[in-house]
Amino acid sequence: MRLRLPQNATLLVGLLLLTAACAKTPADPAQKAQSNANANDPPAIKSVDVVKVSPQEATIARGQSGDVVVPIKIKDGYHVNANPPTFPYLKPTELELPQSKELSVEFISYPDPIKKKFSFTEGKELAVYEGDAIIKAHIKADKSAKPGKRNLSAKLRVQACDDKVCYAPGVLDVALPLDIK
């Protein structure tokens, strides 16, 4: 005995099979995680969202050296690793400036760290920055440097943590205002 389906049922089964064949699951693990995330979950914390940079304009005479002051503000409840960090596996807060024929970085100075214990440090103190901190880049302007205002492109590498976990490191692009006299 042969089972006969009504014509509409055959069409419905065909559409269901076609839909199932065309459905794709995300191949990328990040897409899978995103598709599995609950819409009510808080957004993921990024290290670059925890740190704000507000560089001050510096004036340097040609043939002279001067400091470019780079204040950073770390959001309340978070910290970033000091430079140098307590342990070699920790990512330090680091300012990177490119060298050029007109401008050279002589050295970068970082603030004195705060020493704190956290729940994840097993009783050991970590060297960190919290709240406001100031980084200084000591720059020399070559005698051949063209006078005028410009922005130096810099990068600030940070890894933010709270009192329980550390988040993925990030990089902030920073424009450092500089006036060569």
Could you read off the pLDDT tens digit of each residue along the chain, which spans 181 residues? 454 545 554 444 443 443 444 444 444 433 433 444 455 555 678 889 999 999 999 999 999 999 999 999 999 999 999 999 998 888 999 999 988 899 999 999 999 999 998 877 777 889 999 999 999 999 999 999 999 999 999 999 999 998 888 889 999 999 999 999 9
CA gap 113, 90 in Å, rounded: 14
**What's the token pair of residue 156?**
């600030």
Residue 109, beta-bridge partner list: 136
Q: Which domains are assigned to the chain? A: 49-180 (2.60.40.1250)
Can you list the alpha helix ranges (DSSP code H) found in 6-135?
7-22, 29-36, 47-50
- Kindly report the pTM of this predicted structure: 0.73
Contact in structure between 144 and 60 (CB atoms under 8 Å): no
CA gap 88, 122 in Å, rounded: 17
Beta strands in 23-169 (DSSP E): 51-53, 58-60, 65-74, 79-81, 94-96, 103-109, 114-117, 125-129, 132-141, 148-158, 160-161
Residue 70 burial class via C-beta count within 10 angstroms: exposed 0-12, middle 13-18, buried 19 and up: buried
Residue 176 DSSP symbol:
E
CA gap 51, 151 in Å, rounded: 20
**How do strand 58-60 and strand 170-180 relate by DSSP bridges?**
parallel
Residue 81, beta-bridge partner list: 128
Residues 6+ apart with CB under 8 A from 5: 13
